[in-house]
Amino acid sequence: MRPNHIASLNRSILPLAALVGTMAGCAVADDPEPVRVQGQAIGKPPLTPKELLGKALFFDKQLSTPHGQACADCHAPSVGWTGPQPGINKRGAVYPGAVHYRFGNRKPPSAAYATPTPILHLDNGNFVGGSFWDGRATGMVLGSPVAEQAMGPFLNPVEQNNASAQVVCERVAASAYAALFIRVWGEGSLDCTPSQVDATYRLIAFSIAAFEGSAEVNAFTSKYDAYLGGRATLSEREMAGLALFQGKGKCASCHPAPLFTDFTYDNLGVPPNPDNPFYRMDDVYVDGAPINPQGAAWVDPGLGGFLAHQTFNPEWVALAPANLGKHKVPTLRNVDLRPGRGFAKAYTHNGFFKSLEEVVHFYNTRDVQSWPAPEVPSTVNTGELGNLGLTPGEERDIVAFLGTLSDGFR
Q: Where are the alpha helices (DSSP H) in 37-98?
A: 49-59, 86-89
Numbers of helices and strands, H then E, in the chain: 12, 8
255 lies in the binding site for ligand HEC (CB under 6 A): yes
Report the C-alpha gap between 136 and 117 in whole angstroms.
Answer: 12
* Nearer Cβ to ligand HEC (2/188): 2
Residue in 88, 142, 147, 150 binding ligand HEC, rule: CB under 6 A: 150
Q: What is the dihedral of CA 127, 9, 12, 408, to 10 degrees?
A: 110
CB 32 within 8 A of CB 153: no
Q: Is residue 133 at the binding interface for ligand HEC, with CB under 6 A as the rule? A: yes
Residue in 84, 116, 305, 330 binding ligand HEC, rule: CB under 6 A: 330
SS3 sequence of 368-382? CCCCCCCCCHHHCCC
Contacts of 52 (CB under 8 A, 6+ apart): 28, 31, 35, 43, 180, 211
Q: 310-329: which residues touch ligand HEC (CB under 6 A)?
A: 327-329
Q: Closest approach of Cβ 356 to ligand HEC, in Å? A: 6
Exposed, middle or buried: residue 205 (CB in 10 Å: 0-12, 13-18, 19+)?
buried
Interaction residues for ligand HEC, span 165-204 (CB under 6 A): none
* Bridge partner list, 41: 36
Residue 104 interacting with ligand HEC (CB under 6 A): yes
Contacts to ligand HEC from residues 23-82, by CB under 6 A? 58, 69, 71, 73-75
Q: Least CB distance from residue 179 to ligand HEC, whole Å?
A: 21
Closer CB to ligand HEC, residue 27 or residue 274? 274
Q: Which of 48, 131, 138, 207 binds ligand HEC (CB under 6 A)?
A: 131
Closest distance of CB 30 from ligand HEC, Å: 27
Q: Which of 5, 55, 102, 106 binds ligand HEC (CB under 6 A)?
A: 106
Q: Is 249 exposed, middle or buried (0-12, 13-18, 19+ CB in 10 A)?
A: buried
Radius of gyration of the chain (CA): 21
> Which 267-306 residues touch ligand HEC, going by CB under 6 A?
268, 270
Is residue 241 involved in binding ligand HEC (CB under 6 A)? no
E strand residue ranges, 222-315: 265-266, 285-286, 289-290
Q: How far is the CB of 209 from ligand HEC (least distance, A)?
A: 8
Smallest distance from the beta carbon of 221 to ligand HEC, in angstroms? 19
**CA 203/CA 186 separation, integer angstroms:** 11
Q: Is 148 in the site for ligand HEC (CB under 6 A)?
A: no
Bridge partner list, 285 = 290
Helix (H, G, I), strand (E, B) or coil at 169: helix
Quick check: 99 binds ligand HEC (CB under 6 A)? Answer: no
Position 109 contacts ligand HEC (CB under 6 A): yes
Q: Which residues bind ligand HEC (CB under 6 A)?
A: 1, 58, 69, 71, 73-75, 95, 97, 104, 106, 108-109, 111, 114, 131-134, 146, 149-150, 153-154, 159-160, 208, 212, 249-251, 253-255, 266, 268, 270, 327-330, 332, 335, 347-349, 356, 359-360, 363, 381, 384-385, 398
